[in-house]
Amino acid sequence: MKTHHNPKHNELSVREILEQYTRYWYLFIFGVIIAASLAFIYLRYTTVSYLSKGTIIIKDEKSDGGAEELAAFSNLGGFLSRFKSSKIENEIAIFKSKRIIKEVIIALDLNILYESVGTIKTTELYQYKPFQVQYLSINDSLGEPNRMIPKLYFEIENETQYKVYNESNSIEGVYTFGTKVDLPFGSITVIPNLDNATKFKSFISKTVSVSYRDVDKVAAVFQRSLNVANELNNSNVVVISMQSPVRSKAEDFINELVFQYNRDAIEDRGQVAKKTSDFIDSRLEIITKELDSVETNKESFKSSNRLTNIEAQAQLILENASDFEKRQFNVNTQIELANTMIDYMENSSNNDLLPSNIGIEGGDVSESVNNYNELVLQRNRLLKSSTAKNPVVVNVNDQIEEIRQNILNSLKNTTNSLKVSLRDLNFQESVLNSKLSKVPTNEKIYRGIERQQGIKEQLYLFLLQQREEAAISLAVTAPKAKVVDKAYSSSTPVSPKKSLIYLGSILAGLLVPFLFIYSRDLLNNKISNRRDIETGISNLNLIGEIPKLKKDEEQLIQLNDRSILAESFRILRTNLQYLFINKLENTHKSNTVFVTSTIKGEGKTFVAFNLALTLALTGKKVVLVGGDIRNPQLHRYLPRELQNQPGLTEFIMDASIKARDIASKSSENENLSIVLSGAIPPNPAELLMLDRTKQFFEELREDYDFVVVDTAPSMLVTDTILINKLADVTLYVFRANYTEKRLLEFVNDAIEDGRLLNVAGVLNNVSLSNFGYGNKYGYSYSDEKPSFKNRLFRR
């Protein structure tokens, strides 16, 4: 079939589009009320979350001068910038490490959850707990504690006794506070909290649940909720935050996290001091033995040679060489210290800390050693919460290897330089020795012994000083994280957001009815109003709309009827009369109206009968003909005694019958006569093609002012198409919410092809919300009380 479109009818105004939805205003109000109620219930019983945060500064003791001193090593390249950029990230990783979080959980007993069991909502107890459950022992054979230890429910009987049970009631009993209780999974002791007697009594007869959870899993939960961020660029300020339904719990967690971090950092720095102290002690033991040996040699030499004051003999030469001796002494001391450090580094691994502040001149080596130790400590802390393949650990290992090699190279270069200086000093010493050739040989030997003694004494005293400094550093260690703001919480919940929830519920309450109506209209393939017909059929004059009737309403128009049904047929009658006036070719006496439809069930018989009654109410003589000889329906509105009267088929078959002979007066109106369709013939189409059919209508026109014919459906059979040329007007009946939109194509094609002539449309079974007249414009057809909707929106 061909499809046709009328652009004028296809366009919907904004008002018409809105009316498609505003007519169901009560659905939107109901939807908003339901959605807002659900939002209220959700907010009433949903656990709210608060934001808790604390601020600290990661102190860096080497930030002032260390960078410049470290820059003195030209071969370190870009290590300094990489070290500074990754330092805060490394500290943040330690804060979020599972190892530190587990220590916090154990310190605060956060793996034991106390909850007050309500009728609908369960609330966590944290600040005040009516009692404390101590898990004394857990059977190892039971497996994982969080899986095998059941949740326990406690009910306080009085100040001395309590009842405990589990969900399966495999554990149940009444016990005394403070006593050891043996349960299937282990032993517990319950200690009452009687500090606040009023609060304790308020929990009597209430149910409190206690859950023992696995520390690792609880740590994983806190690890996901914890947020540690360096919010200020190029600074050491770190903000620690987390969301929790219990504000005091989150605040305690953050404060304890900072404490555990500082404790861990102090332990790390204590390891450096202890390592340095151990190194100094080992060197002191060696130097003490060497010093004892030198002093013993000096004593033996002086005793065997009977020497007392041999220095006076070379006083003049020695005064001239005093400056040289000091330089030679310092060079030997530095060589000894450098060789000691090189020997230690070559015999230790990358995992060992290096002794610091051992007296090597030049701040570059000392600063490098300090930075090396700091990197080793950072790497060890990271390995506690990650693997050696972690990119951060790999990066730190590379930095450790690089700076260790640089320190070793610097020490070797320093040693070589000192050896060159010592070689030069030795050369000068040979010159002086030549000048001292006149000094007794004993003096030379004795001076060498004293020089060795001085070196050992100087080194011994220096190591004693360094050991005291290391002991002080071990005893006094400042926290690494300085607290700027202790943990505090927001006064209002951050989740769920009430305004957002209510706004979303209102939008959902409006959207659901909208989608329902939109989907219903989108999936609806039935016509519902006159616009659907005007859109599907390009040249059809819709002259009437018949309202939908209730089950208990009268289907036939009565005398002096003021119902909306009667008024709609009066409108149809008036519009129909204008069609008759406009027919210039109308030359016969009366006007003939054929009433048809596309398929059965669209109400053509109902429309035909009421139209005939409406025309008869004007005083005109009207005859209603049952033109559907295949499936007659007109007899439904007639008394039983008239249902077997001869009709149209008998007139066509019997030439002796006159049209007036088969017309019966209707009991509904004296001006209305009815001609039934008659017996159902075997060949209805061929029967209607006979000349007697035309003669039948000509006789009726002579006797009646209006002839109304209830014909067969046009799409199902050809009967109406065959006799359509005998009608002055063909009323085509459509039924709202019954006739499919695709069937309009048949009507449109039949009109354009000329198979149906002088067609006008009637829309039957229209709901009041789609009705084009009457109450839609505030006019009442009856004395009925207006509906609540009409009274509410009356203007």
What mean pLDDT comes out for the span 638-658? 81
DSSP class of residue 587 equals -
| Residues 589 and 726 grouped into a single domain | yes
| Residues 411 and 546 grouped into a single domain | no
pLDDT tens-digit readout, 184-225: 888 999 999 888 888 888 888 889 999 998 899 999 999 999
* pLDDT for residue 79: 47
* pLDDT for residue 114: 93
Distance CA 747, CA 384 (A): 84
Distance CA 690, CA 6 (A): 39
Hey, what are 59's tokens?
């102190």
Q: Is the residue at 42 inside a domain? A: no
The SS3 of residue 124 is: strand
Of 224, 191, 210, residue with least CA distance to 96: 224
| CATH number of the CATH domain containing 759 | 3.40.50.300
Which of 463, 486, 509 lies at the terminal end of a domain, its last residue? Answer: 486
CA-to-CA separations, 347 to 47, 149, 340, 405, 407, in angstroms, rounded: 60, 51, 11, 14, 15
Distance CA 572, CA 568 (A): 6
Hey, what are 678's tokens?
């008659």
Q: Is the residue at 415 inside a domain? A: yes
Q: How big, in percent rounded to 5, are the helix, strand and coil portions of the chain?
A: 55, 15, 30
User: Sign of the C-alpha dihedral, residues 469, 474, 480, 482?
Assistant: negative
Hey, what are 196's tokens?
């606040």
Distance CA 352, CA 249 (A): 40
Q: Is the residue at 22 inside a domain? A: no
DSSP class of residue 307 equals -
DSSP class of residue 547 equals E
Q: What residue type is 319 in one-letter code?
A: E
Hey, what are 26's tokens?
């009560």
HEC assignment per residue over 370-390: HHHHHHHHHHHHHHHHCCCCC
Q: Is the residue at 306 inside a domain? A: yes
CA-to-CA separations, 530 to 302, 346, 395, 761, in angstroms, rounded: 137, 100, 78, 9
pTM above 0.75, yes or no: no
CA gyration radius for the chain? 55
Given pLDDT bands bounded at 50, 70 and 90, which one contains residue 177? very high
Instruction: Count helices and strands (H / E) in the chain.
Output: 25, 21
Compute the mean pLDDT over every residue in the chain, rounded to the nearest whole number. 80
Hey, what are 6's tokens?
């009328």
From the CB of residue 253, how many other CB atoms can be counted at a distance below 10 Å? 25
DSSP class of residue 793 equals T
| Residues 285 and 358 grouped into a single domain | yes
Given pLDDT bands bounded at 50, 70 and 90, which one contains residue 320? low
Of 339, 347, 343, 405, residue with least CA distance to 372: 405
Which of 459, 486, 513 lies at the terminal end of a domain, its last residue? Answer: 486
Angle of helix 79-95 versus helix 391-435 axis, rounded to 10: 130
CA-to-CA separations, 598 to 79, 539, 660, in angstroms, rounded: 90, 17, 30
Ranked by mean pLDDT, which of 16-25, 154-163, 341-350 comes out on top?
154-163
Q: What residue type is 76 in one-letter code?
A: L
Q: Is the residue at 772 inside a domain? A: yes
- The string over 644-672, giving b where at least 16 C-beta atoms fall within 10 Å of a residue's C-beta and e elsewhere, is ebbbbbbbbeeeebebeebbbebebbebb
User: Sign of the C-alpha dihedral, residues 519, 524, 528, 533?
Assistant: positive
* pLDDT for residue 762: 93
Of 128, 133, 173, residue with least CA distance to 149: 133
pLDDT tens-digit readout, 41-62: 888 888 888 899 999 888 875 5
Please name the residue that has the structure tokens 């990271």. 382
The gap from C-alpha 654 to its chain's centroid, in whole angstroms, comes to: 84
What mean pLDDT comes out for the span 661-688? 87
pLDDT tens-digit readout, 376-431: 888 888 887 777 788 888 888 888 888 888 888 888 888 888 888 878 877 777 77
Residue 582 has pLDDT above 70, yes or no: no
**Helices within 689-782 (DSSP H only):** 691-703, 719-723, 744-753
Q: Is the residue at 394 inside a domain? A: yes
Distance CA 66, CA 571 (A): 102
| Residues 533 and 585 grouped into a single domain | yes
The gap from C-alpha 639 to its chain's centroid, in whole angstroms, comes to: 71
| Residues 271 and 339 grouped into a single domain | yes
Q: Which residue has the higher pLDDT, 25 or 783?
A: 25
From the CB of residue 617, how many other CB atoms can be counted at a distance below 10 Å? 21
**The residue count for the chain:** 795
| Residues 391 and 270 grouped into a single domain | yes
The gap from C-alpha 43 to its chain's centroid, in whole angstroms, comes to: 17
Q: Is the residue at 141 inside a domain? A: no
* pLDDT for residue 587: 53
Count: domains in the chain: 2
- The string over 111-147, giving b where at least 16 C-beta atoms fall within 10 Å of a residue's C-beta and e elsewhere, is bbbbbbeeeeeeeebbeebbbebebeebeeeeeebee
Q: What are phi and psi of 208, to 5 degrees?
A: -125, 125
Strands 161-166 and 152-156 turn out to be antiparallel
Distance CA 577, CA 615 (A): 10
Distance CA 711, CA 718 (A): 11
**Helices within 557-658 (DSSP H only):** 564-581, 604-616, 648-653
Ranked by mean pLDDT, which of 142-146, 454-458, 603-607 comes out on top?
603-607
Strands 172-176 and 180-183 turn out to be unpaired
| Residues 480 and 560 grouped into a single domain | no
Of 663, 557, 677, residue with least CA distance to 609: 557
Hey, what are 502's tokens?
């209510």
Residue 168 has pLDDT above 90, yes or no: no
* pLDDT for residue 316: 57
The gap from C-alpha 392 to its chain's centroid, in whole angstroms, comes to: 31
- The string over 623-639, giving b where at least 16 C-beta atoms fall within 10 Å of a residue's C-beta and e elsewhere, is bbbbbbbeebbbbebbe
Strands 706-710 and 622-626 turn out to be parallel
pLDDT tens-digit readout, 671-684: 999 988 888 888 88
* pLDDT for residue 5: 46
The gap from C-alpha 680 to its chain's centroid, in whole angstroms, comes to: 71
- The string over 8-26, giving b where at least 16 C-beta atoms fall within 10 Å of a residue's C-beta and e elsewhere, is ebeeeeeeeeeebbeebee
Beta strands in 458-572 (DSSP E): 481-489, 541-547
Of 71, 479, 459, residue with least CA distance to 287: 459
Given pLDDT bands bounded at 50, 70 and 90, which one contains residue 241? very high
CA-to-CA separations, 180 to 177, 364, 411, in angstroms, rounded: 9, 63, 65
Query: Max CA-CA distance within the chain?
Result: 183
Q: Is the residue at 248 inside a domain? A: no
| Residues 446 and 535 grouped into a single domain | no
Range of 699's domain?
Answer: 524-792
State which H helix or E strand residue 228 sits in: strand 227-229
pLDDT tens-digit readout, 348-369: 877 778 887 677 776 677 788 8
Residue 670 has pLDDT above 70, yes or no: yes
| Residues 362 and 437 grouped into a single domain | yes
| Residues 397 and 476 grouped into a single domain | yes
Residue 82 has pLDDT above 60, yes or no: no
DSSP class of residue 150 equals P
Angle of helix 391-435 versus helix 363-385 axis, rounded to 10: 150
| Residues 530 and 427 grouped into a single domain | no
* pLDDT for residue 506: 92
Distance CA 549, CA 543 (A): 19
Which of 439, 467, 486 lies at the terminal end of a domain, its last residue? Answer: 486
Asked if 243 and 50 count as a contact pair (C-beta separation under 8 A), the reply is yes
Distance CA 690, CA 538 (A): 34
pLDDT tens-digit readout, 740-753: 888 888 989 888 88
- Determine which of 98-107, 164-173, 767-776, 779-788 has the lowest per-residue pLDDT on average: 779-788
| Residues 473 and 541 grouped into a single domain | no
Residue 692 has pLDDT above 50, yes or no: yes
How many alpha carbons fall within 13 Å on the CB side of residue 439? Answer: 20
∠ CA(79), CA(85), CA(90), 5° rounding?
Answer: 105
